[in-house]
Amino acid sequence: MRIASAHLTYLRRFWRRCGGHSIMGVKAAPTFFGLRLSRGRVLGGIAIIVLLAAIAADTTVVRIGSEEDTREQAFDPDLFGQREFPRIRDFVVERAPDAAELVQLLEDDRDAAIDTYGTAAGAFPVMVVRLTGVVGEGRSGVFNIDVDGLPDEVGIRVQTGPAINGTELRDVVGDIEFGAFTNQIEYQDAGSGINRAMAAETLEGLDRDALPGATISVTGAFTMINPSNWLVTPVVLEVQ
Q: What's the length of the chain? A: 240
Find the helix or strand (DSSP H, E) in which 10 lies. Answer: helix 5-17
Res 25 pLDDT > 70: no
**Whether pLDDT at 26 is above 50:** no
Strand pairing class (126-139; 118-119):
antiparallel
- pLDDT value at 129 more than 80: yes
- 191-212 average pLDDT score: 97
pLDDT digits (tens, 9 = 90+) for 103-120: 999 999 999 999 999 999
Lowest mean pLDDT among 62-66, 103-107, 157-161: 62-66
Q: Sorting pLDDT into bands at 50, 70 and 90, what band is 1?
A: very low
Looking at domain 75-239, its CATH architecture is Beta Barrel (2.40)
Indicate whether 23 pLDDT > 50: no
Domain ranges of the chain: 5-57, 75-239
Helix (H) or strand (E) holding 132: strand 126-139
Is residue 174's pLDDT more than 60?
yes
